[in-house]
Structure 1
């Protein structure tokens, strides 16, 4: 071995030891570290880097669901509707608004899937505009597929025009782009707070102001930001927002979504899917439809009570820890992941397909390399290292602040490195 080769090996060893020590120090200094023990599976060596797709369940969740089956469903039977269940969609919605969204009570409700909620919100927003000259819907080319498909379908239904913002896949939509796209013909703008691929964190207050300056309304998709970044819907005067609850809110596979409607729109809310649970005095079963007052009028069918139980434990934890603390941990996690990327993966030709500034990204990063395929990610899964694949050749590393440790990140990134190296 030459002297240069020996130095390279020694430097690599030093770098690995330094990263291991850094991960240990960050975990020891982490004020949220003790929350990790409350999640099922964190006692195993598995490295879970996909918390931005499906969060881990809490230990408490098994107890909550078991108690509900035994005492609520099994013990109270249909009496549960009158005693508690009918109020849960708004009660949990209010807690979500308070703990996560920066929303006053009476504006948030748990209902349906994200796709259905977004459809309701977009159609309600269009009805609120009620100006025939405003016949354009604005969205961006890198928005999540559901969002794009919905808007395309609504435009076809209503004879509206789509105005696309061309977005850098490694970044996201900017205030300037929105100001350029939104104008006197714009009715509604639909955007994601955090870009699902790159992790770019949009300027929600600035973009909302730009949309309002154009005389239009905004609908925000919060799927990748609820529970990972501070939001502030009321302070930004957001019109409408939706999001799922199975990512950072740990509601479980297919748990129902949430809808936020700014209180200034509620008196004239006109959502398009009329169902018995959204009607005033639902159990009267009377003729005709008269919507319930306030956010409850956004309901349609029977609420998925079972599906909304699990998120209550996470909301309690978030209120205990604070979203400010979660955001601080999230920033440190992604910054550490980027540092490991620079040390181990960049020399192998991997590219960072996310913003480099921590303040400009949410709680995940995306790594691009032609060697990343569905098959290579499946191989990582087989080794109990679980990131997410994003075509054409991206690995998405999602880091949930309450349940992810720095050592877990290092272990997962090491597995990615080893796979590429061999």
Structure 2
């Protein structure tokens, strides 16, 4: 992605900040796993969105007053030890090339405390603003409700030692920016979907009665990486039979029985952007009459809901349409008698935003507009029949409607059966 994209994002964000304010965002760091191991590092999404950097412990500083809007970044300094044990570190020149931040505004992490205190929070001749700031923006993300924001621990010295600063939340401001995808972002999502398609078709090629769900999971993950993806965008769901009636089934450890449907809910990453696709297929390549009528009902709702995607509607309208359509279908099939019973066999929403996060940030209280990317994923889950079906596509909202970004991943009954017949 061109650094002009990151420059534009930071400029747009700083323009929304109060005068005489500054913002701090951290790139995060890998959590401790065991005595001598850490979990794999995963870039903090808002930091990545503003910089394009994927390195631990970096800090982004944004500063604003009536006269200036400035951005600074603090990075890890290269050392012989770090280079020998962990690999090469990014130079100031490399960071500048990625982010678009001038090298004169790139410092090392060991300079951070002194820079903040002497150039922001103390009235000195080096003061960046024309007077001391009154507002500090932090990313107030919480891992769970009633928990302290993660940023309070990262920047605890400033929070505790400068109580005169008003702390404001920059998370919601960035979330609104992230709700709309640029052409470059859509291009990355397209590539993530292309990786996912290759992984799904590799599952179709490998699948047969008697294999374990974990084999299909491994096949998917192997092939998306061969395709160029950095890995899965969320824990892969491969669920056959009754397992498919559990929405977030991730054990993936059961034998796939002949005659069962297999529900796939999976996705790949490309440049930190996610795909999220669901497909359901018969492991033996042939739908039974009962499986086909249930599958076709879900597929019809999937397609009709997608047709309703356009600027100016609420996501809740898609949810209500899909829920009502599924209820009508269940009544026709004799599963329920009243629409109010729909939650017995369908118990999730039909749509969510997609982007850097699989369930991407952004308010649902506003109408969708061009540039939003969202999923459409109706389903039906009948535990007593050991059948779970979900069909999910990734949809771009355009100026005059929508584009189904995953339309090339087969989902019609005939196409699926024909594909499996060709294997034989």
- Please report the TM-score for the alignment, with normalisation by the length of structure 1: 0.23
For CA contacts below 8 A with separation 6 or more, give which structure has more relative contact order: 1
Compare the two structures and name the one with the higher strand fraction: 2
Compare the two structures and name the one with the higher helix fraction: 1
